Amino acid sequence: MVKYVLKRILYLIPVLAGVALIVFTLLYITPGDPAKMMLGERAGEEALRQFRQENGLDRPFFIQFGNFLLKAVTRGDVGKSYITKRPVTEEIMEAFPQTLKLAGYSMLIALCVGIPFGIISAIKQYSMFDTTVIILAMIGISMPAFWLGLLLILLFSVNLGWLPSSGFESFRAMILPSVTLSTGSIAMLTRMTRSCMLEVVRQDYIRTARTKGQKERVVIVKHALGNALIPVITVSGLQFGYLLGGAMLTETIFSIPGVGRLMVNAIMMRDFPVVQGGVLFVALAFSVVNLLVDLLYGYVDPRIRADYK
C-alpha cells in the first residue's frame, strides 16, 4: 500500500512537468511583452533591457523553462506577480481557502442531493419522480453557471432580499455560490448514480440476496449501493477536482477572492507568473484529488485493493 502511494506520487512529477511545459509555452508565444507590462508603456529602452536581463527574459526558451522548473521544484518558487510583486505561491495560498470552502460546500451539496436522487430514481424507474429528476438533471447539466448564478442573485438577493449576493465569510453568503457551483455536479452525480444502480439491481447477486430472504431495503443499501457507488466515487473525485479549479465563473459572479478569480484577473492583466502558477496549482490539486479517489476506490472495491500490493 505504502509502495503504491509512493509510486503514485512519483507519477505526479511527469504530469506536472508536462502541464508546466504546456502553460509555459503558451504564455511564451502569447503576444505582449512582460517587461513593458511591468514597467509601463513609457519605460525607456535601457530600463526594459535591464528588467529582461534581471528576470532572465532574454535567455533562450529552454533555459527559461529549465530555470522555472528548477526554482519551482527546489524552492516552490514559481515567480512573482508582475502586478503586486508578491510571490505567486503566497497569492495562491491566500486565495485557496476560499476556493476550498466553496468547492467543499458544493461537493457536499452535490453528494447529498445527487446520490439519493439517483437511487430513488433508479428504484422507481419510469415513475413521475424519475421522469422529473431526469429532466431536471438535463437542465442542470446544460445550464451555464454564470446564467444560473445571475438568476439566483436576481431572485434571492435583489427581489426577495433573503441572501447576500457576494462575500464569503458567513455561511449565509456561501449558500448562493455553492448552489450555483454544485448544480452541474448534482446533475452529473444523479445521472451516474441512477444508471449505475439500474445496472447493478439487474445483477445475479442482487437476486441471490433476495433469495436469502433479505429485506428489500437492505438489498438496495447493502448489496446494490455498495457496488453502484464504485463508479460514482470516480465521478465525484473528477467533479471535486473540477470544482477546485473550475470555479472561475462562480467566484467572479459572487466576488469570492478564490483561486479562480485570481486567475481570471491575472489573465486580464497579463500577469503571466500568476497564470502559470495558478494553472500548475489547479493541475496539482486535480492530481492529488484523483490520487485520494483511487485510494478510496481500493477501500471500497476488494478487486482493486488486490492490485495495490
Cell digits of residue 55: 528576470
User: Which of 2/306 has CB closer to another protein?
Assistant: 306
CB closer to another protein out of 57 and 206:
206
For 157, which DSSP code? Answer: I
281 Cβ contact list (under 8 Å, min separation 6): 92, 96, 259
DSSP helix/strand/coil, 246: coil
Nearer to another protein, 135 or 218 (CB): 218
Phi, psi of 273 (to 5 degrees): -60, -35
Nearer to another protein, 46 or 204 (CB): 204
CA separation for the pair 96, 94 (Å, rounded): 6
What is the smallest separation between the CB atom of 171 and another protein, expressed in angstroms? 36
Q: Shortest gap between Cβ of 202 and another protein (angstroms)? A: 8
Cβ atoms of 180 and 145 within 8 Å: the answer is: yes
Contact residues: another protein, CB under 8 A: 203-205, 207-215, 223, 226-227, 230, 300-303, 306
Helix (H, G, I), strand (E, B) or coil at 149: helix
Residue 90 phi, psi (nearest 5): -65, -45
Is the Cβ of residue 32 or residue 302 nearer to another protein in the bound state? 302
The minimum distance between CB 121 and another protein, in angstroms, equals 16
- Closer Cβ to another protein, 50 or 214, answer by number: 214
CB of 136 or CB of 230, closer to another protein: 230
Give me the least distance between CB of 113 and another protein, in Å please.
25
Which residue has cell 529602452? 45
Closest approach, Cβ 90 to another protein, in A, equals: 45
Give the nearest distance from C-beta 236 to another protein in angstroms: 17
Q: Using only C-alpha atoms, what is the Rg of the chain?
A: 24
- Looking at the Cβ atoms of 141 and 198, the one nearer to another protein is 198
Minimum gap (Å) between residue 297 Cβ and another protein: 11
* H or E element, residue 269: none
| Residue 309 CA neighbour count, 13 Å, CB half | 4
Contacts 24+ apart (CB under 8 A), 211-214: none
Q: Is the alpha carbon torsion for 57, 62, 67, 68 positive or negative?
A: positive
Residue among 120, 92, 122, 144 nearest 273 (CA)? 92
